[in-house]
């Protein structure tokens, strides 16, 4: 019986970024080095509420179309047009590779996850490399400054209030290759080394990686997901430079909700990148995420601890222009339950509310343990 022939999946190079010229420079360079590649570029215009798709190869523009979406967001764009377009082009077998130029400020994580979770898509394409296209001249300010996406024209949806640093840090922490199109100074280079996934290629020189190298990198979705996960238990590699500092604040104790509320603004503001997980004594089963950069901070519930041992860990990275570094560890430890509080009430409190409902949602009574909190001694 004859075996059915199955074509080899077409490799994808995925380009992300928050600056359109940097993304364009990387994409054009790849297209120049890969004459038998096709480029799929999607642009979201939040003001006009439109998504524009442009497909081109070495011969020029093949198609350009304004696409109507049910809802203007990156998730809808992925499901309704970006992935279907990639699959359609791969099925034509006209090109040896596909360069995917995502919309400004979009993360590659969702695209890679959808491909990894779909057997049909994995038969058609494979992600070779995820690139973070960076502007080295403003990289430190982009990561640690307080600008919002709307300040630099990189918003992807109407009323996008995310910070540039938070989005950019997420992109470069996930990427396989970090390319500064205009070089980078020592501080920016050390920030990349501190934040990038171990093993990722960091390119700050005049000549970046070859397209052939990027095609054979082999993106590992699980590895990038593990590095960017909210809960990380692995130790960090020590820093080697002198322009950047990093705090790895870890405790098996939960935060005291009232003291944490009093300190959260001071801990989340300032010129640093911070991310990790925490748990509150008032929410003992909830994995709470901390994600911030340049004074923009997001917290939320992302999972349950289940059988895992809960812990709190915040990794904070900044440059020496910040005057807060000496106080961050003090504030962190001030939020933790004391020995006396643990002895009196334990690490798991039963309360009706804790003040974090606007960010973490209501406390579900069914998920609370039996330990009863006692703020004051029982009569």
Residues 201 and 315 in one domain: no
Q: Which residue has the tokens 């996934």?
A: 197
Residue 216 and residue 253 in one domain: no
Does residue 374 lie within any of the structural domains?
A: no
Q: Is residue 50 part of a domain?
A: yes
CATH number of the domain that residue 284 is part of: 3.30.1220.10
* Neighbour-count burial of 288, counting CB atoms closer than 10 A to its CB (0-12 exposed, 13-18 middle, 19+ buried): buried
* pLDDT at site 75: 85
Q: Give the residue from 201, 228, 255 where a domain finishes.
A: 228
Residues 38 and 170 in one domain: yes
Q: Which of 163, 198, 228 is the last residue of a domain?
A: 228
Longest dimension (CA), the chain: 84
Q: What is the DSSP letter of 107?
A: -
Q: Do 206 and 285 sit in the same domain of this protein?
A: no
**What pLDDT, in 10s, does the model give residues 297-321?**
999 999 999 889 999 999 999 998 7
Are 165 and 126 within one domain? yes
Residue 236 placed within a domain = no
Domain encompassing residue 284 = 244-367
pTM, to two decimals: 0.92
Position of tokens 């001694």?
A: 377
Cβ partners under 8 Å of residue 4, min gap 6: none
The backbone region for 205, taken as left when phi is positive above 0, alpha when psi lies in -120 to 50, beta otherwise, is beta
Same domain, 205 and 258: no
Within a domain: 58 = yes
| Residues 223 and 248 grouped into a single domain | no
In-domain check, residue 104: yes
**CA distances to 35, 111, 359 from 165, in Å:** 34, 21, 21
| CA dist list (Å): 339 to 172, 251, 342, 371, 372 | 39, 13, 5, 16, 17
Query: Do 191 and 47 fall into the same domain?
Result: yes
H-assigned helices in the chain:
20-33, 74-77, 83-92, 108-116, 119-124, 139-144, 164-174, 186-195, 211-215, 221-228, 257-268, 325-335, 339-345, 357-360
CATH of residue 22:
3.40.50.300
Q: Which residues pair with 51 in a beta bridge?
A: 44, 67
Q: State residue 47's pLDDT score.
A: 81
- 7 SS3 class: coil
Are 22 and 149 part of one and the same domain? yes
Closest CA to 298 of 233, 254, 360, 228: 360
Q: What is the pLDDT of residue 332?
A: 97
251 and 110 housed in the same domain: no
Strand partners, 290: 276, 299
Selection from 208, 192, 176, 109 nearest residue 144 by Cα:
192
Instruction: Kindly state whether residue 237 falls inside one of the protein's structural domains.
Output: no
Q: Could you give the number of structural domains in the chain?
A: 2
54: helix, strand or coil: strand
Domain match, 138 and 261 both: no
Asked, for residue 4, whether it belongs to a domain, the answer is: no
Identify the domain boundary among 228, 258, 291. 228
DSSP secondary structure, 302-350, as one string: EEE-TTSPP-EEEEEEEETT-S-HHHHHHHHHHHBPPHHHHHHH-S---
Is residue 43 situated within a structural domain?
A: yes
DSSP 3-state percent helix, strand, coil across the chain (nearest 5): 35, 25, 40
Query: Could you list the pLDDT tens digit for every one of the 379 residues in the chain?
Result: 455 556 899 999 999 999 999 999 999 999 999 999 999 999 998 888 889 999 999 999 999 999 887 777 888 889 999 999 999 999 999 999 999 999 999 999 999 999 999 999 999 999 999 999 999 999 999 999 999 999 999 988 878 889 999 999 999 999 999 999 999 999 999 999 999 999 999 999 877 889 999 999 899 999 999 999 999 999 999 998 899 999 999 999 999 999 999 999 999 998 999 999 999 999 999 999 999 999 999 999 999 998 899 999 999 999 987 667 889 999 999 999 999 999 999 999 999 999 999 999 998 643 444 343 333 333 3
Q: How far apart are CA 59 and CA 65, in angstroms?
A: 18
Examine the domain organization and report whether 63 and 186 are in the same domain. yes
* Residue-level pLDDT at 69: 77
Q: What is the DSSP letter of 150?
A: G
């Amino acid at each position: 019986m004859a075996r059915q022939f199955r074509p080899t999946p077409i490799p994808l190079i995925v380009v992300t970024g928050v600056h359109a010229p940097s993304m364009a420079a990387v994409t054009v360079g790849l297209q120049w080095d890969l004459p038998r590649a096709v480029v799929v570029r999607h642009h979201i215009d939040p003001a006009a509420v439109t998504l524009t798709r442009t497909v081109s190869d070495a011969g020029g523009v093949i198609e350009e179309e304004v696409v109507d979406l049910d809802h203007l967001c990156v998730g809808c764009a992925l499901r309704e047009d970006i992935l279907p377009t990639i699959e359609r082009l791969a099925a034509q077998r006209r090109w040896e590779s596909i360069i995917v130029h995502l919309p400004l400020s979009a993360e590659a994580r969702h695209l890679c996850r959808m491909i990894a979770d779909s057997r049909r898509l994995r038969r058609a394409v494979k992600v070779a490399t995820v690139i973070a296209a960076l502007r080295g001249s403003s990289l430190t300010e982009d990561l640690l400054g307080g600008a919002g996406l709307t300040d630099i024209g990189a918003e992807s949806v109407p009323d996008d209030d995310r910070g540039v640093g938070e989005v950019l840090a997420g992109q470069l922490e996930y990427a396989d290759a970090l390319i500064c199109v205009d070089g980078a100074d020592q501080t920016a280079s050390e920030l990349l080394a501190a934040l990038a996934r171990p093993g990722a290629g960091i390119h700050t020189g005049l000549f970046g990686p070859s397209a052939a190298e990027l095609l054979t990198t082999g993106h590992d979705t699980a590895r990038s997901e593990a590095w960017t996960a909210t809960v990380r238990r692995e130790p960090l590699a020590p820093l080697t430079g002198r322009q950047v500092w990093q705090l790895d604040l870890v405790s098996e104790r939960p935060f005291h909700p009232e003291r944490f509320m009093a300190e959260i603004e001071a801990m989340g503001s300032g010129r640093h990148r911070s991310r990790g997980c925490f748990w509150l004594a008032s929410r003992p089963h909830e994995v709470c995420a901390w994600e911030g950069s340049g004074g923009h901070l997001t917290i939320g519930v992302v999972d349950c601890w289940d059988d895992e041992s809960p812990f709190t860990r915040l990794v904070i990275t900044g440059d020496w222009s910040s005057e807060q570094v000496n106080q961050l560890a003090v504030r962190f430890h001030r939020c933790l339950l004391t020995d006396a509080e643990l002895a009196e009430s334990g690490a798991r409190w039963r309360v009706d509310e804790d003040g974090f409902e606007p960010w973490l949602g209501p406390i579900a009574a069914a998920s609370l343990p039996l330990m009863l909190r006692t703020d004051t001694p029982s009569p």
